[in-house]
């Protein structure tokens, strides 16, 4: 399969200043709210430390916790299934639907479903599936994957949504008022909720001690899908496990504050068995997680999918999530996707400026910046890097190994800075100058200045 070229994919978005600035602004606002709400909790850093330790402990004893969970969940009346990979997950879900004659489904947002390609799988088999989350539904109607794990359509402007709804749902293309657009979506979805044969959702936390699970949403879409139809099927990656209810509040406190800077998600729903007259199935999915657990980058499994690393990342904010052509974009995506397919995602670890901000905001302290280096090393060792990179590195290592060459380079750069006309420096031939003023050239290089100081 062809390698994903994130730089090329992002170029149209980068040039489109309306979309890029709106994207950048909304995500940065979320990051700022996150900082404010985190700063209001004096023990915030201790909370991150503790959450990381709990996740590490649970992952290190995952086999025990999974068995305990299954035993308790089964006792609660939940049908528990195990899926080795995406294909098995989809087959299990489809079999359940076939047994119940399911034709229509409403579904809460789930990155695991994206990972498994469930929507496409069910569509090919004639099942009518409607995403119930507003952003995810927008993306479904537009035939796109989510561009952000918490705000799936954040790369779009209101006008884009108005146009899309007009085309797909027959609404007014000139009315981009968010209340109006919400009403259009609600009117369409209500009919679907009422007649859905089954509902689906993902899972945020599995509780080993009680055999229950927790789903967090801001729109309540998962709750309707879980409670209205007679059949409810939830899917969870096995890494979603925590020991029990005692640890849950810590993660709930961290999740929404890290995601959007709000104290809590609007809906934090607990499922400890089927509702009256309902059947409840839960599919526990591996899909490469146990291999990841045995790898050097095993801490990626601590991720609670809060999106704080997306919101802070300067590359993600300016290039948009679709440019990664992957289920998981942003900082966690560039260290996660290569573990699914190193060849296809070999260029993603280079979508990073090494600012380290993702590591600073991650509520479970995943060492993302270290993992970026791990994957770059892996990419080079497995010869999956670009030929141009290889030559650049070769030339760079030769030049930097020679003091004379470095000194000559410094002098040349200084002369270029001093003598190139400003009009040329600020022209379209220098993309950097679009958003920056070139600094005034110093009189001498640092090396020349340092030598002089030593002599005096």
Contact stretch for ligand SF4 (CB under 6 A) within 41-49, 207-215, 355-363, 447-455: 355-363
Which residue, among 1, 3, 7, 10, has the nearest Cα to 345 in the 3D structure? 3
Cβ 2 to ligand SF4 shortest distance, Å: 27
Contacts of residue 30, Cβ cutoff 8 Å, sequence gap at least 6: 259, 260, 261, 307, 311
- Sheet of 279-285: strand order equals 79-83, 279-285, 231-237, 198-201, 104-107, 128-131
Cβ 328 to ligand SF4 shortest distance, Å: 9
H/E stretch holding 406 = helix 403-419
Interaction of residue 305 with ligand SF4, rule CB under 6 A:
yes
Considering the complex, state which of residue 223 and residue 299 has its C-beta at the smaller distance from ligand SF4. Answer: 299
Q: What are phi and psi of 253, to 5 degrees?
A: -65, -40
User: 41: phi > 0 → left, psi -120 to 50 → alpha, else beta; which?
Assistant: beta
Considering the complex, state which of residue 238 and residue 364 has its C-beta at the smaller distance from ligand SF4. Answer: 364
Structure tokens at 311: 């919101």
Cβ 322 to ligand SF4 shortest distance, Å: 18
Cβ 255 to ligand SF4 shortest distance, Å: 8
* x/- letters, 316..335, toward ligand SF4 (CB under 6 A): ----------------x---
Report which DSSP code applies to 443.
S
Interaction of residue 304 with ligand SF4, rule CB under 6 A:
yes
Interaction of residue 303 with ligand SF4, rule CB under 6 A:
yes
Interaction of residue 231 with ligand SF4, rule CB under 6 A:
no
Report which DSSP code applies to 402.
-
DSSP string, 337-392: HHHH-TTTTTTGGGS-----HHHHH-TT---HHHHHHHHHHHHHHTT-S-HHHHHH
Interaction of residue 59 with ligand SF4, rule CB under 6 A:
no
Among 152, 212, 363, 369, binds ligand SF4 (CB under 6 A): 363
Among 364, 369, 378, 379, binds ligand SF4 (CB under 6 A): 364
Considering the complex, state which of residue 118 and residue 313 has its C-beta at the smaller distance from ligand SF4. Answer: 313
Contacting residues toward ligand SF4, per CB under 6 A: 258, 303-309, 332, 361-364, 366
């Amino acid at each position: 399969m062809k390698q994903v070229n994130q730089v090329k994919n992002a170029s149209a978005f980068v040039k489109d200043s309306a979309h890029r600035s709106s994207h950048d602004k909304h995500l940065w606002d979320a990051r700022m709210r996150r900082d404010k709400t985190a700063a209001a909790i004096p023990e915030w850093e201790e909370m991150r430390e503790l959450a990381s330790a709990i996740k590490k402990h649970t992952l290190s004893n995952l086999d025990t916790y999974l068995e305990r969970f299954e035993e308790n969940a089964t006792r609660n009346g939940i049908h528990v299934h195990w899926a080795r990979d995406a294909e098995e997950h989809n087959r299990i879900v489809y079999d359940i639907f076939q047994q119940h004659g399911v034709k229509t489904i409403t579904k809460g947002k789930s990155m695991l479903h994206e990972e498994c390609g469930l929507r496409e799988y069910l569509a090919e088999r004639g099942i009518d599936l409607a995403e119930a989350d507003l952003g995810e539904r927008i993306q479904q109607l537009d035939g796109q994957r989510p561009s952000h794990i918490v705000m799936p359509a954040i790369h779009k402007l209101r006008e884009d949504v108005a146009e899309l709804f007009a085309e797909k749902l027959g609404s007014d293309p000139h009315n981009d008022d968010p209340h109006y657009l919400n009403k259009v979506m609600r009117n369409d979805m209500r009919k679907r909720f009422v007649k859905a044969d089954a509902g689906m959702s993902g899972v945020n936390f599995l509780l080993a001690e009680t055999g229950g699970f927790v789903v967090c949403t801001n729109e309540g879409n998962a709750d309707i899908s879980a409670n209205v139809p007679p059949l409810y099927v939830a899917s969870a990656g096995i890494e979603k496990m925590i020991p029990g209810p005692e640890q849950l509040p810590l993660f709930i406190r961290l999740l929404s504050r890290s995601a959007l800077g709000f104290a809590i998600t609007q809906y934090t729903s607990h499922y400890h068995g089927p509702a009256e007259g309902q059947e409840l199935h839960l599919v526990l999915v591996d899909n490469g997680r146990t291999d990841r657990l045995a790898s050097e980058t095993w801490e990626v499994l601590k991720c609670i999918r809060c999106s704080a690393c997306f919101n802070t990342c300067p590359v993600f904010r300016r290039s948009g999530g679709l440019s990664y052509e992957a289920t998981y974009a942003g900082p966690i995506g560039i260290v996660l996707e290569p573990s699914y397919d190193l060849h296809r995602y070999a260029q993603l670890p280079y979508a990073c400026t090494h600012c380290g901000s993702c590591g600073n905001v991650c509520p479970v302290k995943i060492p993302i910046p270290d993992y970026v280096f791990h994957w770059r090393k892996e990419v080079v060792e497995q010869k999956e890097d670009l030929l141009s990179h290889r030559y650049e590195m070769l030339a760079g290592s030769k030049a930097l190994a020679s003091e004379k060459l470095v000194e000559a380079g410094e002098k040349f750069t200084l002369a270029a800075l001093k003598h190139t006309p400003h009009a040329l420096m600020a022209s379209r031939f220098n993309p950097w100058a679009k958003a920056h003023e070139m600094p005034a050239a110093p009189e001498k290089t640092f090396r020349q200045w340092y030598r002089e100081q030593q002599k005096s």
